[in-house]
Structure 1
Amino acid sequence: METKKYQIQKNPFVVPTADGKLIEEHHGIVATNNPEISIAHMIAPPGWSEPFQTPEFDEYTYVISGKKQFIIEKDTITLEAGQSIKIEKHTRVQYSNPFDEPCEYIAICKPAFDFEKVHREE
């Protein structure tokens, strides 16, 4: 019997959130039992923000629509639709959408996103 060398994801894991943000993990620890990489489709509502964190993984973000704000160490950066960024692991960062429209984006973490390795501040 031949093993398929591909996997189509038709049923991403929807991460439960309390802040109105949509997180659909297509590949990663929870969705596909893959600790090497995670790929998630996200929509952050206007006014959304997370605490600062210093993750043990590289994170890539590609903005599909809207804008997303990043505070990276001491720099504040805004990405717009069509732009992307890589933030290296062990970098203190805060993600937010202080704007008046939703921000849709793709986030890729390598190795995969892991709550035990994100190190969010209280």
Structure 2
Amino acid sequence: MKKYTIQKTPFIVPTTDGKRIAEHHGLASTANPEISLAHMIAPPGWSEPFQTPEFDEYTFIIRGKKQFIIEEEQIILEAGQSIKIEKNTRVQYSNPFNEPCEYIAICKPAFDFTKVHREDF
């Protein structure tokens, strides 16, 4: 029995906002409820509504910049920087900049649409 898994075919999450999400490990791709790992590219001008997820989320910026509004504080991360946002924290993610933002997101436990609690725009 192998003690590793190589992911060659991530689950591409269907989106309507131009964001590319390739989940390599998690509920949708490997049925793992404990953790998810996704490679994402957010186009210029992209944003999501505020949300209050029931999971911790770690983000590592590969290239570009990403804006976070955490509770009432605005934070901008650039390539090479990372952040951990604690579960049950109100947050909004966006890319108001003129270039795509490529990043890795890790959620623990795994990202779950039923536990993200997005608000209406």
TM-score if structure 1 supplies the norm length?
Answer: 0.98
| Unmatched tracts of structure 2, length 5 or more | none
Task: Select which of 71, 77, 80 maps to 1:79.
Answer: 77
- Distance in 2, Cα, partners of 1:21 & 1:85: 20
Aligned to 2:16: 18
1:89 offset after TM fit, Å? 0.1
Q: 2:91 aligned to 87, 90, 93, which one? A: 93
Q: CA deviation at 1:100?
A: 0.2
Report the 3-state secondary structure (helix = DSSP H, G, I; strand = E; otherwise coil) of the residue aligned with 2:29: helix
**How many pairs align?**
120
Where does structure 1 lack aligned partners over 5 or more consecutive residues? none
Alignment of 1:1-122 (within 5 A): 3-122=1-120
Pairwise CA distance, 1:69: 0.1
* Structural RMSD (CA): 0.2
**Matched residue type, 1:95:** Y
Whole-Å Cα distance in 1 between the matches of residues 7 and 81 of structure 2? 25
Tell me the distance in 2 between the aligned counterparts of 1:91 and 1:21: 22
Identity over aligned pairs, percent: 81
Q: How far apart are residue 83 of structure 1 and its match?
A: 0.1
